[in-house]
Amino acid sequence: MSIKARIHVRLKPGVLDPQGKAIGNALHALGFRDVGEVRQGKLIEIELGESDPERAREAAERMCKELLANPVIENYAIELC
């Protein structure tokens, strides 16, 4: 059966994250006083149509490099499930 990739795309540390910042402020405004840093990233879930874990991971890697993450500002992490 086909393997699914769960990909996390995160802004690199140091790249400012206006969305995360806005969420942080909103949480404080809602009374969550202790909240520290908030970062927002992307969750991309893909049906790989591939049953071999090796090839599945390798394909997901290429997808991230070629399209899903922008190496200038983003890191990515791949989980297969």
Partner 1 sequence: MKAGIVVFPGSNRERDLAAAFQRATGQKPIFLWHGDSEIPDLDLIALPGGFAYGDYLRCGAMAAHSPVMREIRVRAAAGVPILGVCNGFQVLTEAGILPGALLPNRSLAFHCHDVRLRVENSQTIFTCGYEAGGVIRVPVAHHDGNYTADAETLDRLEDKGLVAFRYCDEAGGLSEDANFNGSARSIAGIFNDSRNVLGLMPHPENATDPLLGGTDGCAFFEGLVGALQ
Partner 2 sequence: MTGAATETLAAEHGLTKEEFARASAILDRAPNLVELGIFSAMWSEHCSYKSSKTWLKTLPTTGPRIICGPGENAGIVDIGDGEAVVFKIESHNHPSFIEPYQGAATGVGGILRDVFTMGARPVALLDSLRFGSPDHPKTRHLLSGVVAGIGGYGNCIGVPTVGGECGFDPAYNGNILVNAMCVGLARADRIFYSRASGPGNAVVYVGAKTGRDGIHGATMASAEFGGDAGEKRPTVQVGDPFTEKLLLEACLELMAGEAIVAIQDMGAAGLTSSSVEMAGKGGLGIELDLDRVPVREAGMTAYEIMLSESQERMLMILKPGGEDEARRVFEKWQLDFAVIGRVTDSGRLVLKKDGAVAAEIPIAPLVGEAPLYERPYEARAPAAEIDPSSLPERDPVACLSRLLGSPDLSSKRRIWEQYDHLVQGNTVQRPGGDAAVIRVAPSGKALALATDCTPRYCRADPKRGGMQAVAESWRNLSAVGALPLAITNCLNFGNPERPRIMGELVGAVAGMREACLALQYPVVSGNVSLYNETMGEAVLPTPVIGGVGLLADAARAIDLGLKREGDALILVGETKGHLGASIYLREIEDRRDGAPPPVDLAAEKRNGDFVRGQILAGRVAACHDLSDGGLLVALAEMAMAGMRGARLEAATGDLPAHAFWFGEDQARYLVETAEPESLLAAAHAAQVPARRIGTVEGAALTLFGRNAISVSALKATNEAWLAHYMAQG
Tokens coding 11:
């802004």
Q: Return the residue of 26, 45, 52, 65 that touches partner 1, per CB under 8 A.
A: 26
First to last CA, the chain: 11
Q: Which is nearer to partner 1, 19 or 51 (CB)?
A: 19
Interaction between residue 23 and partner 1 (CB under 8 A)? yes
Q: Which is nearer to partner 1, 15 or 51 (CB)?
A: 15
Cα distances (Å, whole numbers) of residue 16 to 13, 28, 54, 75 = 8, 19, 35, 14
Interaction between residue 66 and partner 1 (CB under 8 A)? yes
